[in-house]
Amino acid sequence: MKLSRAEFEDRYVAGTLKLALIGMSNIGKSYSGMRLATDFDFTLTEVDKLIWEELGESDMDAFAAWQGQPYTEGYEARERESMRLESRATAKSLETAARNPLLDTTGSVIYADEDVLQRLSRDWFTVYIEAAPEHLERLQQLYFAQPKPLAWAGHFRMIDGMDEIGSLKACYPELLASRHERYSALADHTISSADILVRDNARLFELVKPVA
């Protein structure tokens, strides 16, 4: 939903602003959402949490362990189930009547059902937190140090001469590039992951607003 800066601010004051954060896992969506909800008049919803609770898991680590890696047996079926639950959880979150809802989407929201994406695009001001070039290596390191549930969407393949982990690392940049295109297409506004490192929450709020 395209908004001018004035429209954004008017909706926020009225309590009717719908703001969604999109971007890769570990890019800082949850961190940014928490900061905005703490200091400003937003109602935060974490879609990942809704999914792991429905699965009966206790936290993100347990959710990630359940989904596994794309080279593990049964991964494709678990990925499909995860995406089904994600589409349902996201759709439910879009129906909120909360004041100034702030949606912390999953990294794979771009693979949600088409009707869900259409509603998100139509009704929510969507901000893409894009990985700054200097953060790309950190994203990969974080993923392999503490994996989060990740939909590979067909971007993993075994590479000749590499083991499973080597192949995973080699395919990760391809996944990032593909997702960047999808995030950009869905976004109404883009900020850099370098921007969210500002310590001033008021400055962060200004950054997520439309430029004009």
Cα 163 to Cα 71, 153, 181, 212, distances in angstroms:
10, 20, 28, 49
Residue 143 has a pLDDT of 85
Domain assignment present for residue 158? The answer is yes
Q: How many CB atoms lie within 10 A of CB 51?
A: 24
Residue 46 has a pLDDT of 94
Q: In what side-by-side order are the strands of the sheet with 19-22?
A: 43-46, 101-104, 19-22, 125-130, 189-192
Average pLDDT over residues 22-47: 95
Q: How many CB atoms lie within 10 A of CB 118?
A: 10
CA dist., res. 7 & res. 9, Å (int): 5
Q: Is 192 helix (H, G, I), strand (E, B) or coil?
A: strand
Cα 171 to Cα 101, 121, 152, 168, distances in angstroms:
35, 29, 9, 5
Domain assignment present for residue 59? The answer is yes
Model pLDDT for residues 98-155, shown as the tens digit of each residue: 999 999 999 999 999 999 999 999 999 999 999 999 888 888 888 888 777 889 999 9
User: 62 lies in which domain range?
Assistant: 5-207
CA dist., res. 55 & res. 196, Å (int): 31
Residue 54 has a pLDDT of 86
Domain assignment present for residue 157? The answer is yes
Domain assignment present for residue 71? The answer is yes
Domain count, the chain: 1
pLDDT band at residue 90, thresholds of 50, 70 and 90?
Answer: very high
Residue 104 has a pLDDT of 97
Domain assignment present for residue 185? The answer is yes
Residue 128 has a pLDDT of 98
Domain assignment present for residue 122? The answer is yes
Number of residues that this document lists for the chain = 212
Domain assignment present for residue 212? The answer is no
With tokens 């959880």, the residue in question is 89
- How many CA atoms, within 13 angstroms, populate the side-chain half-sphere of residue 159? 11
Average pLDDT over residues 187-204: 94
pLDDT band at residue 198, thresholds of 50, 70 and 90?
Answer: confident
Residue 63 has a pLDDT of 87
**Domain of 62: which CATH number?**
3.40.50.300
Residue 137 has a pLDDT of 86
In this structure, what is the dihedral angle of CA atoms 205, 138, 103, 76, given to the nearest 10 degrees?
170
Residue 10 has a pLDDT of 98
Pairing mode, strands 19-22 and 101-104: parallel
pLDDT above 80 for 73 = yes
Domain assignment present for residue 120? The answer is yes
Q: How is residue 205 written in tokens?
A: 């709020």
Pairing mode, strands 43-46 and 189-192: unpaired
Q: Is the pTM of this model over 0.75?
A: yes
